[in-house]
Structure 1
Amino acid sequence: MEQPRKPFLSFAGGASVGYITVHLLPEFQKAQNEFNSVLHIPKRFEEYSLYLVATVGFLTFYSINYLVKKSSRKNALASPPLFIAHIGVFVLYNSFIGYYLIKGLKQEPMSLLFFTGVFVLHIMVNDVGLRLDHKRRYDPWGSGVLALSVFSGWLIGFFTTLPTGVFAIWFGWLAGGILLNTIKEELPKERKSKLIPFLLGTIISSTLFFLI
């Protein structure tokens, strides 16, 4: 059954794409350079060391999403272990967003306001996808746990600073997840995505990221 896609959600998906292409990829390269330096990665692996971590992140989210879809086709709802695993990876995902807001950004009002807005849009897109995947099982505690995970990541960043290697691995793993989750919410036929809002979200987000 086809599920109409609200223009706002396609706009949010476009904003996430703008974040990936204009901000995340350059930051990813910077994180990889620091990762290589701290962990003394052999020179022949330096160009793609953290990209392997991103690939693991991509495959993690892809595999869980695939298994959830397969299980829900058979039983209407995914099995409880798959539901817990799905929520679990998004706890790590959302926690990093909270941590990144306090440790990965310049603590300037305009920058914080804009990045917070983009991340809120991105989390909303993920929230809709999870609600469609897990239906009545997702609320109330699934959404509550994920909301708290953002705050927990922020608290971690407030009280401590993670070692560079840990931060880079977490960031690399998350980058693969962001890439998959952004695209998968716009591509499926049943989502009936809206092209114009998606393009506007991408263009506006990319422009603002470029200017900040």
Structure 2
Amino acid sequence: MPMTLITGLMALAFCTVHLFVGKLRFLERTPRSKWLSFAGGVAVGYVFLHILPELGAHATTFGRETQLAAVIAESWVYTLSLAGLVLFYGLERALAVSRDERMTNEGRDRPHRGIFWVHIGASGLLMLMIAYLLNHREDSGTAGLVLYFAAMMLHFVTADFGTRSDHPELYDRRGRWILAVATLGGWALGLLVDLPEIVIACLFAFVAGGIVLLVLKEELPEERKSYFLPFLGGVALYAVLVLGEIHLVVT
């Protein structure tokens, strides 16, 4: 099967999460659904076993393209990653503050529309970059692509579920469609535009910071009452798959 078709099907699968996460009623539980804790574990495993090592590889690319010393190139790449984390942390805080203000002043447990749409726009940009990287990853192997896809699918479930919980009406009416279009647009852009390696390195670093923040935000806060064993199971399963992939490549 052509790789273009495979990545296209993966992008469509991402879109199904954006469009139909509201139908997954079993996730809407207190305490938190065990499936969300499992998905969070997989996403955390992805952060430590794929994102951090790939950041190192992209730092090498950045240093080669810019002729900077290795330590300086690495610092710039991790600074871009930090910028992605800080941006999404700022958006999450703005949502929380807006939600608290409306709850105090109007008795409505919803953020202001403007803040929500800014958050959707930033999330759409993140989805576009993630889908673009389906066709432009440092690890071009099939096994690595499948692991990337699986981790991102589960990450989208937790991230979209959290975004939808902020404003279900706006998410269902337009927000989910914006995310789906951004995802397909990113995949198509990956086919049509072949960016220089240094730009891809910068994109990945920025995306990595956003993913790290969203993973930690969705899984770790105490009020979410997460389940540890499903979380551990997700981490362990992903670690076994990654180590198995590495073993196959080496041997």
Is TM (by shorter chain) over 0.5?
yes
Aligned residue in 2 for 1:189: 222
Aligned residue in 2 for 1:159: 192
Mapped contact 1:10–1:198 kept (Cα < 8 A) = yes
Aligned residue in 2 for 1:73: 100
| CA displacement 1:141-173 (0-9 Å, x = unmatched) | 111211222221111111221122221221111
- Give the drift of 1:42: 5.2
Which of the residues 78, 81, 86 maps onto 1:51? 78
Mapped contact 2:85–2:210 kept (Cα < 8 A) = yes
Amino acid at match of 1:49: W
Aligned residue in 1 for 2:149: 116
Instruction: Give the whole-Å Cα distance in 1 for the aligned partners of 2:169 and 2:30.
Output: 17
Instruction: Give the whole-Å Cα distance in 1 for the aligned partners of 2:71 and 2:193.
Output: 33
Match of 1:162, SS state, is coil
Deviates more, 1:125-134 or 1:142-151: 142-151
- Give the drift of 1:140: 2.6
- Give the drift of 1:134: 2.2
Mapped contact 2:59–2:70 kept (Cα < 8 A) = no
Which of the residues 140, 143, 149 maps onto 1:106? 140
- Give the drift of 1:88: 1.4
Q: Does 1:136 align with 2:175?
A: no
Instruction: Give the whole-Å Cα distance in 1 for the aligned partners of 2:234 and 2:70.
Output: 39
Instruction: Give the whole-Å Cα distance in 2 for the aligned partners of 1:87 and 1:41.
Output: 36
Deviates more, 1:78-87 or 1:26-35: 78-87
Deviates more, 1:36-45 or 1:71-80: 36-45
Which of the residues 113, 120, 128 maps onto 1:87? 120
Match of 1:77, SS state, is coil
| CA displacement 1:25-61 (0-9 Å, x = unmatched) | 1111111111122123356623311111111111100
Higher relative contact order (CA 8 A, sep 6+): 1
Instruction: Give the whole-Å Cα distance in 2 for the aligned partners of 1:32 and 1:127.
Output: 30
Instruction: Give the whole-Å Cα distance in 1 for the aligned partners of 2:65 and 2:211.
Output: 25
Amino acid at match of 1:147: A
Instruction: Give the whole-Å Cα distance in 2 for the aligned partners of 1:39 and 1:85.
Output: 33
Amino acid at match of 1:129: G
Instruction: Give the whole-Å Cα distance in 1 for the aligned partners of 2:84 and 2:55.
Output: 14
Which structure has the larger Rg? 2
Which of the residues 28, 40, 52 maps onto 1:25? 52
Distance change in 2, residues 1:44/1:32 (3 Å): closer
Instruction: Give the whole-Å Cα distance in 1 for the aligned partners of 2:125 and 2:113.
Output: 19
Aligned residue in 2 for 1:147: 180
Deviates more, 1:2-11 or 1:92-101: 2-11
Mapped contact 1:36–1:49 kept (Cα < 8 A) = no
- Give the drift of 1:67: 0.8
User: What TM-score do you get using the length of structure 1 for normalisation?
Assistant: 0.92
Mapped contact 2:134–2:145 kept (Cα < 8 A) = yes
Instruction: Give the whole-Å Cα distance in 2 for the aligned partners of 1:202 and 1:130.
Output: 23
How many residues get paired? 210
Identity of aligned residues (%): 33
What is the RMSD of the two structures over their aligned residues, measured on CA atoms? 1.8
